[in-house]
Structure 1
């Protein structure tokens, strides 16, 4: 005898196996973030586990993609391998934060390189921002920071430009190093 309103036991997933999730996210900066000068954040609007059957997967993708196209703003459909809806939402936010930090770091470096400046730059690991100053050496850059342990320090020169990928990799490795999860030069966390 089946009780109405309950999911059959064969369809309940009690373990945390990775699955593919579809995430609808809005990357447009919120008005309060823009006014406060804060780093933009990705807003996760909807998360759904991806269907198993290929025909259902195709229909599901088309339906959600259509909803994104109908919406105003920078609404996007993304896919992540995660263990839950919350984990998929976290991955979407983390990916956007890492991308934004790398872009901001690149802008900070380029601003100094456009003037042909050389020196040491202090970049905040969390958001890729800087205090806007160039310093003579590492010690001077370190001493000038309010929270020096939250920054990364490196020399810049017009002879050695930084690519967006280099900024992204540097911030990622510094994040892992700061958390203490680097073993033999590789991160142990994800």
Structure 2
């Protein structure tokens, strides 16, 4: 049994995550604005000694393989506690899914050759599907304008998945007040 580190020192944590879709009904699956959440099955601080660390990794990787589920994965995070490692794992999954959805929204407009401003929800990367003439028009049309980010879409300025991820991560930090001189604070 691994003891909990009460000193809260930064270190590597092993996380077993289940990325299967936790929604069981079709109504829940198709609900607009639904945000899938990564389920964390197990968290353990990685051992300090290299031999113990390798044995620990082998044991957990074997457990993931033995489970026979493609949705389970063994991940590593540098964190200060078990809870912090869980938070990092869930945040990574959330931003990844939101950036995929944001890319799909942008691609939908680009495929039809549209140009204009769109509003993207920071929480899930979705949109209202509308294209606006200006920033002000896009912002005014939103029920919660502070929870969105706004930018122009044009075939001349394509967006990569990494660009979507970076923007949503930045906007999440801005929304929650975790910015210092324009840079996110990692907690």
Distance 1:187 1:144 in 2: 28
| Aligned-CA RMSD value | 1.9
- What is residue 124 of structure 2 aligned with on the other side? 127
- What is residue 95 of structure 2 aligned with on the other side? 98
Superposed displacement of residue 143, structure 1:
1.3
- What is residue 63 of structure 1 aligned with on the other side? 59
Structure 1 unaligned segments of length 5 or more: list them: 1-6
Distance 2:113 2:10 in 1: 48
Q: Tell whether the 8 Å contact from 2:5 to 2:81 is kept in structure 1 after alignment.
A: no
- Aligned match for 1:89, one of 86, 89, 109: 86
Q: Tell whether the 8 Å contact from 2:77 to 2:88 is kept in structure 1 after alignment.
A: yes
Superposition TM-score, scaled by structure 2 size: 0.89
Distance 2:23 2:84 in 1: 26
User: When the two structures are aligned, how many residues end up with a matched partner?
Assistant: 181
Q: Tell whether the 8 Å contact from 1:33 to 1:39 is kept in structure 2 after alignment.
A: no
Structure 2 unaligned segments of length 5 or more: list them: none
Deviating runs (4+, > 6 A) in structure 1? none
Superposed displacement of residue 189, structure 1:
4.2
For residues 102 and 184 of structure 1, do their structure 2 counterparts lie closer, same or farther at Cα, with a shift above 3 Å needed? same
- What is residue 26 of structure 1 aligned with on the other side? 18
**1:14-60 CA-partner distances (Å, limit 9, x unpaired):** 32111211000011111337641322211000011111111111111
SS for the counterpart of 1:127 is: coil
Superposition TM-score, scaled by structure 1 size: 0.88
